[in-house]
C-alpha cells in the first residue's frame, strides 16, 4: 500500500507542502490549526456552507489529490474521534434556547461523523465506497486497515484515507475538567521537559492517496498497521511490538526511527520511557505531539510526517528526542497509546 499523495492541516504550516517546515511556537494549552486560504481549494460559495472541520477535511483531501477535483478515488475512508463538534454544539445550543421547539435541522445533519467524507464525495462526484470510523484513538488506524483490505481485494485502485478532529472552546472546557490538559500555558516545544499531569490539546486533518502501485508522486509504503485493545503493563507492549515486527520480517535494529506518541503527561509517558530504555535503547527516537498536540487522530499527522521524512530523507531537529539523527532512513515505526489500554502501531518504509 503506497502513499502516492498526501495533505495535512495542523498547528504547524504543513498546508504549504514545504518540508521540513519552520517550527511554529504556541504558548498555550491548546494548539489550533494554521489554516490555509480555502479559496485555493474551493469556491467561497461552496466553503460558506461548510463548518471549519469540514473545510479542513475537504482541503486536505484535495491536497492529497494534488488539487485535482476531477480525480475520483474508488473509495473514501475517514477516521474521527469527535466528528463535527462545532455543528453538534450549535444543535445542542438551539435545543436549549428554543426549548426543543422550531429547531433548524441543518446543524444536526451536518454534525454527524460521516459529514466530512460525504462532502468530499459530493465535491469529487465519487459514488463509490464511503466509510467513517469512530473508534476513539483507533479511528485513523481502522481507516488504514480498511483501505488495505480494499486494495488487497483488487477491486479498488485508489483509496482516499484521512484522519481528522477539531477542538472547539466548549469541548476544551468540558474535557479540561478531567485533568487531560496542562493547568498553565507553556511553549509547545517545551512540552516534554516538565513532569506534571496533562498535555496540550490539539487538532488537525491528514489525508492520503493510497494505491497498490508506485507512481512519480510516491512518498512511502505503508507496510502494516495494528491496533491492540488491552490493559498494558510494562511487558505487554514490548511483546505486542516484537510480534508486530516479526510478522513484517523486521527486527528492532532495522528501525531507523521510532516515532513515539509522548505527550508530556507523566501518567502516560511511562510506557514510552520504558520502551526507550529497553526495546529501543539502540534506536533513534523521535516525537511529534509537541507539534500537533493531543487528539484522537494525531497518528494521521505522524504518518504525514513520517512519509515526508522517508521521501525527502531529512529528519528535522525539532522532532529528535534521543539518539543520533539518521542520515539514511528506510523504516519508521509509529507507536501511540491512549488511556493505558489503546495501543496502535504503524510501520512505514522508503520506496
Query: Residue 207 in contact with residue 6, Cβ under 8 Å?
Result: yes
Query: d(Cα 150, Cα 158) in Å, to the nearest integer?
Result: 9
Task: Using pLDDT thresholds of 50, 70 and 90, give the confidence band for residue 231.
Answer: low
Arithmetic mean of pLDDT over the chain: 93
Cell for 323? Answer: 539518539
Q: How far apart are alpha carbons 257 and 153 in whole angstroms?
A: 31
Q: Which three cell numbers stand for residue 176?
A: 479540561
User: When comparing pLDDT for 233 and 240, which is higher?
Assistant: 240
CB-side neighbour CA atoms (13 Å) of 43:
3
| Other beta carbons within 10 Å of 149 | 10
Write out pLDDT tens, residues 280-289. 999 999 999 9
How many CB atoms sit inside 10 A of residue 127's CB?
A: 9
Q: Is the pLDDT of residue 290 over 90?
A: yes
Q: Is the pLDDT of residue 339 over 80?
A: no
Across 199-213, average pLDDT: 97
List the Cα angle 316/36/109 in 5-degree steps: 120
| pLDDT at residue 183 tops 70 | yes
Which grid cell sits at 340? Answer: 493505558
Integer Cα distance of 227 and 142 in angstroms: 8
| CA gap 145, 31 in Å, rounded | 28
* CA–CA gap between residue 337 and residue 56 (Å, rounded): 25
Residue 111 has pLDDT above 80, yes or no: no
Domain ranges of the chain: 2-211, 220-349
User: Please, what is the Cα angle at 182 between 181 and 184, to 5 degrees?
Assistant: 135
Q: From CA 308, how far away is CA 315, in angstroms rounded?
A: 9
Task: Take residue 16 and report the three cell numbers written for it.
Answer: 504549504
Q: What is the pLDDT of residue 233?
A: 58
Helix segments in the chain, DSSP class H: 44-48, 52-64, 85-97, 106-111, 115-124, 139-152, 169-176, 236-247, 270-277, 289-292, 298-312
In this predicted structure, the answer to whether residue 249 has a pLDDT above a threshold of 60 is yes
Please state whether beta strands 320-322 and 342-349 pair in parallel, antiparallel, or not at all (unpaired): unpaired
Q: How far is 219 from 311, CA to CA, in rounded Å?
A: 5
pLDDT tier at 229, thresholds 50, 70, 90: confident
Do the domains 2-211 and 220-349 sit in the same CATH topology, yes or no?
yes
Q: What value does the mean pLDDT take over residues 6-26? A: 96
Partnered with residue 129 across adjacent β-strands are 75
* pLDDT for the residue 223: 98
Angle value at C-alpha 53, between 298 and 226, nearest 5 degrees = 30
Residue 195 grid coordinates? 513532569
Asked if pLDDT for residue 21 goes beyond 60, the answer is yes
CATH of 2-211 among 1.20.120.1200, 3.40.47.10, 3.60.150.10, 3.30.1360.120: 3.40.47.10
Query: What percentage of the chain has pLDDT greater than the value 70?
Result: 99
| pTM of the predicted protein model | 0.94
Single out the residue of 110, 112, 165, 166 nearest to residue 143, CA to CA.
165
| pLDDT value at residue 234 | 54
pLDDT of residue 237: 85
Model confidence at 49, in pLDDT bands (50, 70, 90)? confident
Pairwise CA distance, residues 40 & 167, whole Å: 24
Q: What CATH number does the domain located at 220-349 have? A: 3.40.47.10
Q: Cα(315)–Cα(310) distance, rounded to whole angstroms?
A: 9
Flag the least confident range among 75-79, 124-128, 339-343. Answer: 339-343
List the one residue out of 327, 322, 294 whose CA is nearest residue 309: 327
Query: Which of 164, 49, 62 minimizes the C-alpha distance to 109?
Result: 49
| Across 93-98, average pLDDT | 85
Cis, bond preceding 250 (omega within 30 deg of 0): no
Confidence tier at 232 by pLDDT (50, 70, 90): low
Estimate to the nearest angstrom the gap between the alpha carbon of 99 and the chain centroid.
38
pLDDT at residue 321, rounded to an integer: 96
**How far apart (Å, rounded) are the C-alpha atoms in residues 261 and 256?**
17
Amino acid at each position: 500500500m503506497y502513499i502516492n499523495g498526501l495533505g495535512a492541516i495542523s498547528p504547524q504550516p504543513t498546508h504549504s507542502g514545504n518540508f521540513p517546515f519552520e517550527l511554529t511556537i504556541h504558548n498555550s494549552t491548546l494548539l489550533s490549526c494554521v489554516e490555509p486560504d480555502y479559496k485555493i481549494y474551493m469556491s467561497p460559495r461552496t466553503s460558506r456552507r461548510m463548518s471549519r472541520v469540514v473545510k479542513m477535511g475537504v482541503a486536505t483531501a484535495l491536497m492529497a489529490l494534488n488539487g485535482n477535483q476531477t480525480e475520483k478515488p474508488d473509495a473514501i475512508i475517514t477516521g474521527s474521534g469527535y466528528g463535527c463538534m462545532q455543528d453538534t454544539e450549535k444543535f445542542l445550543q438551539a435545543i436549549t434556547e428554543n426549548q426543543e421547539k422550531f429547531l433548524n435541522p441543518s446543524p444536526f445533519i451536518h454534525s454527524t461523523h460521516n459529514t466530512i467524507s460525504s462532502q468530499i464525495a459530493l465535491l469529487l462526484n465519487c459514488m463509490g465506497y464511503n466509510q467513517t470510523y469512530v473508534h476513539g484513538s483507533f479511528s485513523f488506524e481502522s481507516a488504514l486497515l480498511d483501505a488495505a483490505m480494499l486494495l488487497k481485494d483488487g477491486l479498488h485502485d485508489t483509496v482516499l484515507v484521512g484522519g481528522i478532529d477539531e477542538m472547539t472552546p466548549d469541548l476544551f472546557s468540558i474535557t479540561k475538567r478531567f485533568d487531560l490538559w496542562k493547568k498553565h500555558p507553556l511553549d509547545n516545544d517545551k512540552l516534554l521537559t516538565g513532569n506534571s499531569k496533562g498535555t496540550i490539546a490539539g487538532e488537525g486533518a491528514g489525508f492520503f492517496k493510497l494505491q497498490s502501485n508506485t507512481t512519480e508522486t510516491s512518498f512511502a509504503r505503508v507496510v502494516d498497521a495494528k491496533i491492540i485493545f488491552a490493559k498494558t503493563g510494562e511487558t505487554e507492549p514490548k511483546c505486542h511490538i516484537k510480534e508486530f515486527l516479526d510478522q513484517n520480517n523486521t527486527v528492532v535494529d532495522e528501525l531507523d526511527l521510532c516515532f513515539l506518541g509522548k505527550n508530556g503527561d507523566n501518567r502516560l509517558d511511562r510506557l514510552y520511557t520504558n520502551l526507550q530504555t529497553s526495546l529501543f535503547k539502540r534506536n533513534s527516537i523521535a516525537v511529534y505531539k509537541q507539534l500537533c498536540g493531543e487528539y484522537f487522530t494525531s497518528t494521521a499527522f505522524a504518518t504525514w510526517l513520517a512519509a515526508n521524512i522517508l521521501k525527502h530523507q531529512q529528519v528535522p531537529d525539532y522532532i529528535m528526542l534521543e539518539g543520533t539523527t539518521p542520515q539514511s532512513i528506510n523504516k519508521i515505526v509509529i507507536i501511540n497509546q491512549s488511556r493505558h489500554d489503546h495501543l496502535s502501531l504503524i510501520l512505514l518504509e522508503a520506496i
